[in-house]
Amino acid sequence: MSIKTPDEPKPATGHAVIQGYLKTLDGSPGVYRMLDPQARVLYVGKARNLKARVSNYARPGQHTPRIERMIRDTASMMFLTTRTETEALLLEQNLIKQLKPKYNVLLRDDKSFPNILVAKGHAFPQIKKHRGAKSEKGAYFGPFASAGAVNRTLNQLQKAFLLRNCTDSVFESRTRPCLLYQIKRCSGPCVGLVSAETYGAAVADAERFLSGRSTKVQEDLAAQMQAASEAMEFERAAALRDRIRALTTVQGAQGINPRGVAEADVIALHMEQGQACVQVFFIRANQNWGNKDFYPRVGADVSAAEVMEAFLGQFYDNKEPPRQVILSDEVENPDLMAEALAQKAGRRVEILVPKRGEKSELVAGALRNARESLARRMSESATQGRLLAGLAEAFGLDAPPQRIEVYDNSHIMGTNAVGAMIVAGPDGFMKNSYRKFNIRGEELTPGDDFGMMKEVLNRRFARLMKEDPDRDKGHWPDLLLIDGGAGQVSAVAQIMAEHGVEDIPMVGVAKGVDRDAGKEEFHRVGQRPFALRHNDPVLYFVQRLRDEAHRFAIGTHRAKRAKAVGANPLDDIPGVGGTRKRALLAHFGSAKAVARADLADLKAVDGISGSMAETIYNFFHEGG
Express each pLDDT in 41-76 by its tens digit: 999 999 999 999 999 998 887 888 889 999 999 999
User: Residue 205, Cβ neighbours under 10 Å: how many?
Assistant: 23
Please give the pLDDT value at position 517: 58
CA separation for the pair 248, 156 (Å, rounded)? 9
Residue 212 has pLDDT above 90, yes or no: no
Give the residue from 289, 292, 285 showing the smallest Cα distance to 261.
285
Which neighbouring-strand residues pair with 428?
Answer: 425
For residue 486, name the pLDDT band (cuts at 50, 70, 90).
confident
Express each pLDDT in 108-131 by its tens digit: 766 778 899 999 888 899 999 998
Asked if the peptide bond before residue 143 counts as cis, ω within 30 degrees of 0, the response is: yes
CA separation for the pair 511, 521 (Å, rounded)? 6
Residue 465 near residue 504, CB atoms below 8 Å: no
CA geometry: angle 66, 97, 376, nearest 5 deg? 70
Residue 4 has pLDDT above 50, yes or no: no
> Where would I find the beta strands (DSSP E) of 177-285?
263-272, 275-284
CA separation for the pair 411, 417 (Å, rounded)? 4
Residue 122 near residue 207, CB atoms below 8 Å: no
CA separation for the pair 624, 602 (Å, rounded)? 16
Q: What is the largest CA-CA distance in the chain?
A: 112
For residue 352, the surrounding DSSP H or E stretch is: strand 350-352
Q: Where are the alpha helices (DSSP H) in 40-108?
A: 50-58, 65-73, 85-99
Please give the pLDDT value at position 624: 43
Share of the chain above pLDDT 70, in %: 90
Q: How far apart are the first and last CA of the chain?
A: 69
For residue 518, name the pLDDT band (cuts at 50, 70, 90).
low
In order, the DSSP letters of 527-594 are S--B---TT-HHHHHHHHHHHHHHHHHHHHHHHHHHHHHH--GGGGSTT--HHHHHHHHHHHSSHHHH
- Tell how strand 415-425 and strand 435-438 pair up: antiparallel
Residue 542 near residue 390, CB atoms below 8 Å: no
What pTM was computed for the model? 0.70
Give the residue from 621, 395, 356, 418 showing the smallest Cα distance to 529.
395
Instruction: Report the pLDDT averaged over residues 308-318.
Output: 90
Give the residue from 280, 358, 379 showing the smallest Cα distance to 321.
280
